[in-house]
Structure 1
Amino acid sequence: MQNISAKQRLLNIGFGNFVVTSRVIAIVNPASSPMRRLREDARQEGRLIDSTQGRKTRSIIVTDSNHVILSAIQAETIGQRFIAEETVNE
């Protein structure tokens, strides 16, 4: 097992999928029109990662590499996990 530095902590986004916390720019609700547009643009440009395992998209995670990740976990839940992970690192 590798030693993971504080900058490389992992955020559980559901169903065995993780994102490096330092790469996360935003965690948003997918219901708004701008978020639907963001998802479609990312899909067309090959920047979309679907980690929903066939379930309903409940949050969108935007990374600093301009990738858009779909998750079946509520944005609020992922946000709480993100904050908890950041608190552990302090």
Structure 2
Amino acid sequence: MDIQLINIGFGNIVAANRVIAIVSPESAPIKRIINEAKDKGQLIDATYGRRTRAVIITDSNHVVLSAIQPETVAHRFVSHVEK
């Protein structure tokens, strides 16, 4: 089993095979998902105090906040998977 890692900014990395979705944090349902994950202790804030631009949802129901654009994360994800 080969684990592929994706850089989500500031040296933070997630396992590519665990990612379910990469979304923008602007909508009310996503904000609700973030708040629920925070309440359950399943929120990982990888923004280093910067504005959240991407929300990464994993298969373990963990929610990861990133300060880089969802398109950038997705591009890294796709280009890394194709290798």
Q: TM-score range by the shorter chain?
A: over 0.9
Quote the Cα distance in structure 2 between the aligned partners of 1:65 and 1:33.
Answer: 22
Select the structure of larger CA radius of gyration: 1
Partner of 2:11: 16
TM-score normalised over the length of structure 1? 0.90
1:43 positional shift: 0.3
1:82 positional shift: 0.4
Partner of 2:63: 68
Partner of 2:29: 34
Quote the Cα distance in structure 2 between the aligned partners of 1:41 and 1:63.
Answer: 14
Quote the Cα distance in structure 2 between the aligned partners of 1:27 and 1:68.
Answer: 10
- The count of corresponding residues between Structure 1 and Structure 2 is 83
Q: Does 1:52 align with 2:47?
A: yes
Structure 1 runs of 4+ aligned residues shifted over 4 Å read: none
TM-score normalised over the length of structure 2? 0.97
Gaps of at least 5 residues in structure 1 are none
RMSD over aligned Cα atoms? 1.0
Gaps of at least 5 residues in structure 2 are none
